[in-house]
Structure 1
Amino acid sequence: MRILVVVHGFPPAAKGGAEIYAHAHARVLKEIFGDEIFVLTREQDPGRAEYTIRTEAHDGLQIAWVNNTFRNTRSFEDSYRNEAIGAIATRLIDDFRPDVAHVHHLTCLSTTIVGALAERGVPCFFTLHDYWLICHRGQLLDVHYRVCEGPEPDGCDVCLGSGGGVGTLGFIGAATARALERRLPAAPARQLRRVVSRLAPIAADAREAGEDARRRLAHMRHVCDDVTHFFAPSRCICERFVQFGVPRERITVAGYGYDHAPFNRLERIAASQLRLGFLGSLMVSKAPHVLLDAIGRLPRGAVCVDLFGAYSAYHGDDSYRQKLAPLVNQDGVRARGAIAHDQVPHALASIDVLVVPSIWPENSPLVIQEAFLAGVPVVASRIGGIPEVVQDGLNGLLFRAGDAADLARALTRLLDEPGLLDTLRTGIPPVRTIDEDVRQARAMYEARVLTRRHGRRRLAAIVLNHRTPDDTLLAVKSLLASRRPVDDVIVVNNDAADADRDALKDVWDDIIYIETGSNLGFSGGMNAGIRAALARGADRVLLVNSDAIVPPDGIEHLERCLDAAPDAGIAGPVILARSHPGEVQSLGMSYAPISGRMRHLGYCSRLAAAHDRPTAQRVDGVSGCLMLVRREVFDACGLFDEDYFFGFEDLDFCLKARRSGFATVLAGRATVYHEGGRSIGAGSPRRFYFAARNHLLMARRAEPSAGRLASFYRASSIVLLNVANAALSTGGSLPARLGAVARGTRDYVAGRYGGP
């Protein structure tokens, strides 16, 4: 496979986390799979002409370095959407002709690279290392070093600094100042930088700065639209981009992988003091001052601190140097300076505890997992994605971000509690390997590339398992026997326990297995599978209950039904009872918006001969027991609403699709055999609880504009229908069934949704 890697810097010149990870990822693609890798990156060499290209081969990778010192930048827009670099990138793309691209960062390059890939039909994957697509400062930290909840509603103009609203002359002046700064000694250069920083706001036009900020946000949303799929190393950053407007199903949360080899056989030497370490740039957002302030509150000589990293100004603000200097001169503090990345394992082996005191919402700092590989617990800020990897009291300790007193409290625990450090070491979890990471990414590349090459619609099937391993195995085997091949069979284990895995050993090599870690209900469990299916490039997704068996011709008939109706987005089969194969469970669903009544058409009727059944019949909904959904429906409507947990989410989804212009059809020639009542027993009070609550919820969401009188009539009708259903049903006691309906109605009124 020919893979284009795009990143804003690359080792050995660049030493940042994203750059190091991009290099490791590309190297493993080459070593394990033999892929041809072309890296497009940036360097800044004042001695070379702007935008010249330098090429080299390193570690089996072909690398093109584009020189960008920003001396030709003439507007704020040029700083992220650089047409000159975009044109260079387009030529390189056309020459290399990649099968797929993986973008790690675009700062200092050009966002137009993503558009060029989209125009050529090249699948583009994007790892979200930070917030740069949302925040031009990259870390959601404003000019006062406070975490920004934005960018809306107030925009980003106050944070643009010297780049916002200054016009072309302002950028020419800035380029001239940078040229002078490079020719001056360090002290005068810093003084010049301070003068320019003070003058910039005077020259800036606040109104134009606001327009600059709004244009950037609108442009970045278009860039996100052109990305095929995102990788998010933490749930935190995933949620930020969902909030920004990226559909959740286009983001896969996948932690970074690491090369374990450098950490093997590390030798640790005991010490009388507690040895603390900080690894990273000495910059305000990384907040080493919080650590140095905290140790000043501890007993003298109780700890020592090693700072591994070089000082760095933050977006041109050099004032942090003055704040940090006296703290670094404390007793017991050793400034080791920057170290090469291959020296990180040895640096970690020389300390007892790594401290990560960041004040910006870190994504997933590489150094935390590297510390774990070295057997070193971590004390870190409770911010961003850090609590996802550092579990307080298990493998480290957490403290309030920016609070030196709270950090001192955590460090005091390590001094005062014998055995705590050993307990934290014992709790260090396994760390994902870079090989595992790359294999997951490459499988997703491959799925997209195959779909692009062959033009066949990619089909994924999701089987939802909740403590029904034998049924799940039968469902999987029926899918594997389908005449229409299923590209991905995804089994979602929707439970905290993983006891059902062994039951699938006969089909293990043919499935993708996902664990949710808890019972998320039908909607939540299916959503986990849908996200995985869409991430692997599925054009159509088949949702399958574990107690359903699909005949070999079933999927073919469903697809033909979708193809025959251009506006159809969802297709469902005739559902037959497994125990009585001639008995119909559902011919689709009807819904009466006035009364709120929902019915499974044909329930308990006898199955008509195949030639008597319509090929395609429009219905209000089809059962989630088995439904085939076009990808476009998820793109337009999102996934299942997880407020339901169990029941009515299928009809809600079909009605939501209708409002977005997609019809739901019954494929009369397709059948499925369904047992029913496996996850929640047919007579269980929980079934009646969810039926009442979710029926009311679905009806309200289906007709949100109904007047008070109409809404009251509909709600009353639904309650009476559910009371009648509970009274006429068998299983359990009548008081338990009626009590469940009452609780469901009460919780609907109170707005209590989701799981039990």
Structure 2
Amino acid sequence: MRYAAFIICFERPLALIKYIDVLRSQSEPPEYILIIDNSLDDSIDKLNLDKKYAEVNYFKTGYNAGPAGGSKLGLKKLQALNYQWIFWGDDDNPPRDNQVCSELFICKEKLERQGIVAGIIGGKGGMFNKWTGTIRSLSNKQLKAKDIIEVDMVPGGHGMLINTHYLNEKTYPEEKLFFAFEDLDICLKFKKQGAGIFVDAKSWYKKRQLDKNGDDSYRYVKKSGTRAGDLRRQYFSSRNLLFILKENRYFFALAYNIFKIVIKSLWSFRYGFKYGKKFIYYHKKALIDFFNDNYILNIPLNK
């Protein structure tokens, strides 16, 4: 299968090299690999990757576009080269083995034999609740029921294969989001265009078994951290989710999440006054920036 891949990177040269090696070693490797370098230093540029690898091409953004801006650049550039399928990569989360891409294309072929043309196929995914704005992963019981399952979204760093037939100015990731939920953004846009989104349930379940998570009732549940770095991530997550809910006219979920931020801000003091103060700082800013339509990267990252 002729396809291309892009890898978004930021000042992690060793992680990027590992990702490239894993991608090149796929049983069905991409024909063309585009590096989208968001780095503010020259640690990636110095690697001279496009000289070391014939299939690797390098593009430096000149600024930190984040995963949202980086993915938009990668998709647009590879679509312009007339690739129908594009693999979305992030430097700190390489494919788990050398069969990932092949397994995704097997799913594509199975769907096509059923008369289904997929918009996005991924290694993992979940269902989006338009009333609460939450994403629920699939249980092992669900994964065992079918080899391929239709979902609402696929995370960008977990084996995401995109059909460029559905890519246009209305469906590219919103670059101003910078970080967090750019994958949900593009998935919801694809679904509006009538594109189906699917996950390789069979391979996903096998991976859980290898990780000793094989019980039928098991499903992944993301937990919020209490470190400063986690709070900075929550700023982007909260702000961007509100934007996506508004754009998709999920107004009940929008009101619900604003209310949830307020309640969680008060409840955050159970971890101590210092943590509660920081939690309120980041989430208050998320609300203010959302209402002011402010998506400039201006939060102090060391506060």
Q: TM-score, normalised by structure 2?
A: 0.78
2:165 matched residue in structure 1: 632
User: For residue 573 of structure 1, what is the aligned residue in structure 2?
Assistant: 123
Change (3 A) 1:599 1:510: same
Equivalent of residue 478 in structure 1, options 22, 25, 30: 22
User: Aligned-pair distance for 1:561?
Assistant: 1.8
Alignment deviations for residues 428-456 of structure 1 (CA, whole Å, 9 cap, x no partner): xxxxxxxxxxxxxxxxxxxxxxxxxxxxx
755 and 728 in structure 1: CA distance in 2 versus 1, 3 angstrom threshold: farther
Aligned to 2:127: 590
Take 1:728 and 1:536, find their aligned partners in 2: how far apart are those partners? 53
Distance 1:534 1:624 in 2: 17
Does the aligned pair in 2 maintain the 1:558–1:573 contact within 8 Å? yes
Q: Give the Cα separation in 1 of the matches to 2:264 and 2:21.
A: 37
What is the alpha-carbon distance in structure 2 between the residues aligned to residue 721 and residue 538 of structure 1? 47
- Choose from 191, 194, 200 the match for 1:661: 194
State the Cα distance separating 1:598 from its structure 2 match.
2.9
For residue 237 of structure 2, what is the aligned residue in structure 1? 691
What does the per-residue CA deviation read over 1:565-601, in whole Å, with 9 as the maximum and x for residues that have no partner? Answer: 3142011103xxxxxxxxxxxxx12221122223444
Aligned to 1:740, the other structure's residue is in SS state helix
Asked if 1:530 corresponds to 2:80, the answer is no
Structure 2 CA distance for aligned equivalents of residues 637 and 542 of structure 1 = 20
Amino acid at match of 2:195: F
Percent of aligned positions that are identical: 21
Give the AA of the match of 1:593: K
Are residues 656 and 745 of structure 1, via their aligned partners in 2, closer, same or farther at CA, if it must alter by over 3 Å? same
1:649 partner amino acid: E
Task: State the match for 1:676 in structure 2.
Answer: none
Letter in 2 for 1:480: R
> What's the RMSD between the two structures over aligned residues?
3.2
Q: Is 1:743 aligned to residue 293 of structure 2?
A: no
* Mapping for residues 106-121 of structure 1, pairs under 5 Å: none
**Cα 1:615–1:712 shift into 2, 3 Å:** closer
Does structure 2 conserve the Cα–Cα contact (< 8 Å) formed by 1:696 and 1:718?
A: no
Distance 1:469 1:714, change over 3 A: same
> Residue 180 of structure 2 aligns with which residue?
647
Residues 300-311 of structure 1: matches in 2 within 5 Å?
A: none
SS at match of 2:179: coil
Matches within 5 A, 1:405-484: 457-484=1-28
Q: Is the 8 A contact 1:644 1:754 kept in 2?
A: no
How many residues of Structure 1 are paired with residues of Structure 2 in the alignment? Answer: 270
Paired residue for 1:701?
Answer: 247
Does the residue aligned with 2:18 lie in a helix, a strand or coil? Answer: helix
Q: In structure 1, what is the equivalent of residue 56 of structure 2?
A: 511
Counterpart contact for 1:691–1:722, Cα < 8 Å: no
Alignment CA distance shift 1:631-1:718 (3 Å): farther
Asked if the contact 1:461–1:489 (Cα under 8 Å) also holds between the matched residues in 2, the reply is yes
Provide, for residues 130-173 of structure 1, a one-character-per-residue CA deviation record: whole Å limited to 9, x for no partner: xxxxxxxxxxxxxxxxxxxxxxxxxxxxxxxxxxxxxxxxxxxx
When residues 682 and 477 of structure 1 are mapped into structure 2, their CA distance, relative to the original with a 3 A threshold, is: farther
Is the contact between residue 38 and residue 70 of structure 2 (CA under 8 Å) also seen in structure 1?
yes
Q: Is the 1:523–1:644 Cα contact (8 Å) retained in structure 2?
A: yes
* 1:502 correspondence with 2:34: no
**Counterpart code for 1:753:** Y
Secondary structure at 1:532 match in 2: helix
Q: 1:475/1:504 Cα in 2 relative to 1: closer, same or farther (>3 Å)? A: farther
- Residue identity matched to 1:691: S
Q: Where do 5+ consecutive residues of structure 1 fail to align?
A: 1-456, 575-587, 603-607, 674-680
Distance 1:537 1:715, change over 3 A: same
Match of 2:261 in 1: 719
CA 1:645–1:712: 2 relative to 1, 3 Å: closer
Distance 1:658 1:718, change over 3 A: farther
Could you tell me whether the CA contact under 8 Å between 2:133 and 2:257 is conserved in 1? yes
TM-aligned CA distance change 1:594 to 1:478, over 3 Å: same
Match of 1:534, SS? helix
> Do the aligned partners of 1:573 and 1:669 also contact (CA within 8 Å) in 2?
no
Deviations 1:202-244 (A, max 9, x none): xxxxxxxxxxxxxxxxxxxxxxxxxxxxxxxxxxxxxxxxxxx
Q: What secondary structure, in the 3-state scheme, does the structure 2 residue paired with 1:479 have? A: helix
**Is the radius of gyration larger for structure 1 or structure 2?**
1
Distance 1:712 1:535, change over 3 A: closer
1:616 pairs with 2:162? no
Task: Provide the rounded CA distance (Å) in 1 between the counterparts of 2:29 and 2:146.
Answer: 25
Q: Distance in 1 between matches of 2:267 and 2:177?
A: 19
1:409-430 per-position Cα deviation (integer Å, ceiling 9, x unaligned): xxxxxxxxxxxxxxxxxxxxxx
Query: What's the secondary structure of 1:628's corresponding residue?
Result: strand
Equivalent runs, 1:244-263 vs 2, <5 Å: none
Q: Distance in 2 between matches of 1:725 and 1:484?
A: 49
Q: Tell me the distance in 1 between the aligned counterparts of 2:53 and 2:63.
A: 21
Are the counterparts in 2 of residues 689 and 744 from structure 1 also a CA contact under 8 Å? Answer: yes
Q: Distance in 1 between matches of 2:35 and 2:62?
A: 14
